[in-house]
Amino acid sequence: MKITIVAGARPNFIKIAPIIKAIQKKQSVNNKLSFRLVHTGQHYDKNLSDTFFEELNIPHPNSNLEVKSGSQAQQTAAIMVAFEQELIENPCDLVLVVGDVNSTMACAIVAKKMNLKVTHVEAGIRSGDMTMPEEINRIVTDSITDYFFTTSTWAGENLMKYGAEASNIHFVGNVMIDTLYQNLDRISAPNFWNEFQLEKGNYIILTLHRPSNVDEEHSLIDLLKGIDKMVGDKKVIFPIHPRTKAILGEQKLELKNILMVDPQGYLNFMFLIKNSFAVITDSGGISEETTVLGIPCFTLRTTTERPETITIGTNNLIGISIENLEKVFGEFLQNGPRKAGIPELWDGKASERIIDILLSKK
11/61 with CB nearer ligand UDP: 11
116/272 with CB nearer ligand UDP: 272
Choices 6-14, 144-152, 214-222, 338-346 (CB under 6 A): range interacting with ligand UDP: 6-14
Closest to 120 in 3D by CA, of 178, 181, 177, 175: 175
- Other CB atoms within 10 Å distance of the CB of residue 350: 28
* Contact in structure between 286 and 273 (CB atoms under 8 Å): yes
- In the chain, which ranges are continuous DSSP H helix? 10-27, 50-55, 72-89, 102-113, 133-143, 153-161, 175-183, 211-214, 217-230, 242-248, 266-274, 284-293, 308-311, 322-335, 350-360
Closest separation in Å from C-beta 147 to ligand UDP: 22
Closest separation in Å from C-beta 75 to ligand UDP: 16
* Contact in structure between 300 and 320 (CB atoms under 8 Å): yes
Closest separation in Å from C-beta 188 to ligand UDP: 13
Q: Does 127 participate in binding ligand UDP (rule CB under 6 A)?
A: no
261/333 with CB nearer ligand UDP: 261
Map residues 212-241 to x or -, x wherever contact with ligand UDP holds by CB under 6 A: ---------------------------x--
Closest separation in Å from C-beta 359 to ligand UDP: 28
Closest separation in Å from C-beta 146 to ligand UDP: 24
CB-based contacts of 33, cutoff 8 Å, min separation 6: 1, 3, 23, 26, 27, 359
Burial label for 225, CB within 10 Å (0-12, 13-18, 19+), is middle
Q: Contact with ligand UDP (CB under 6 A): which of 18, 124, 263, 307?
A: 263
Closest separation in Å from C-beta 168 to ligand UDP: 25
11/156 with CB nearer ligand UDP: 11
Choices 105-113, 165-173, 195-203, 261-269 (CB under 6 A): range interacting with ligand UDP: 261-269
How far from 164 is each of 114, 118, 159, 192, 357, CA to CA, in Å?
A: 20, 13, 5, 48, 17
Which residues are known to be catalytic?
A: 209
Subset of 265-294 contacting ligand UDP (CB under 6 A): 266, 269, 283-286, 289
Closest to 175 in 3D by CA, of 354, 352, 351, 12: 351
36/209 with CB nearer ligand UDP: 209
Burial label for 8, CB within 10 Å (0-12, 13-18, 19+), is buried
CB-based contacts of 291, cutoff 8 Å, min separation 6: 297, 308, 309, 312, 313, 314, 315, 340, 342, 343, 346
Instruction: Tell me the sheet residues that pair with 204.
Output: 236, 278
Closest separation in Å from C-beta 274 to ligand UDP: 11
63/203 with CB nearer ligand UDP: 203
39/209 with CB nearer ligand UDP: 209
117/301 with CB nearer ligand UDP: 301
Total interface residues for ligand UDP by CB under 6 A: 15
Going by DSSP bridges, is the β-strand pair 117-121/34-39 parallel, antiparallel, or unpaired? unpaired
Closest separation in Å from C-beta 125 to ligand UDP: 11
148-180 exposure pattern, b = at least 16 Cβ within 10 A, e = fewer? bbbbbebbbebbeeeebeeeebbbbbbbbbbbb
Q: Contact with ligand UDP (CB under 6 A): which of 4, 6, 7, 10?
A: 10
Q: Contact with ligand UDP (CB under 6 A): which of 63, 104, 137, 207?
A: 207
Can you give the binding site for ligand UDP, defined by CB under 6 A?
A: 10-11, 14, 207, 209, 239, 263-264, 266, 269, 283-286, 289
